[in-house]
Amino acid sequence: AQTVTQSQPEMSVQEAETVTLSCTYDTSESDYYLFWYKQPPSRQMILVIRQEAYKQQNATENRFSVNFQKAAKSFSLKISDSQLGDAAMYFCAYRAALRGATNKLIFGTGTLLAVQP
């Protein structure tokens, strides 16, 4: 069974600084997708960034980037130039790439990010 592990329950960063959130996963599949979702106090889960396992290039979305290490089964999120609005719970998630089979996401336990002014 696939599992996702986030070992940092809480993190803190100063505004304008850079922070990295860690995520490791376990799977026997060779093709899959990885996601980072953000959940602010409003509870709305918002997709931050996604990575396709067969793509070696790390995904980037503005101030957000990932370090995807497939062999190590590691998928960390780097937030550059942190802003107060980045404060939220961040979830790492895994989805198998079986077309037409399921969209089921497997989530980690989350990392609560605080941004200090």
Partner 1 sequence: KAGVTQTPRYLIKTRGQQVTLSCSPISGHRSVSWYQQTPGQGLQFLFEYFSETQRNKGNFPGRFSGRQFSNSRSEMNVSTLELGDSALYLCASSLEGQGENIQYFGAGTRLSVL
- Contacts with partner 1 by CB under 8 A lie at 33, 35, 37, 42-47, 50, 52, 91, 95, 100-110
Closer Cβ to partner 1, 30 or 43, answer by number: 43
Largest CA distance in the chain: 45
The minimum distance between CB 13 and partner 1, in angstroms, equals 23
Closer Cβ to partner 1, 11 or 45, answer by number: 45
Closer Cβ to partner 1, 8 or 52, answer by number: 52
> What is the C-alpha separation between 15 and 117, in angstroms, rounded?
5
CA-CA distances (angstroms) from residue 104 to 57, 64, 66, 96, 101? 24, 24, 22, 8, 9
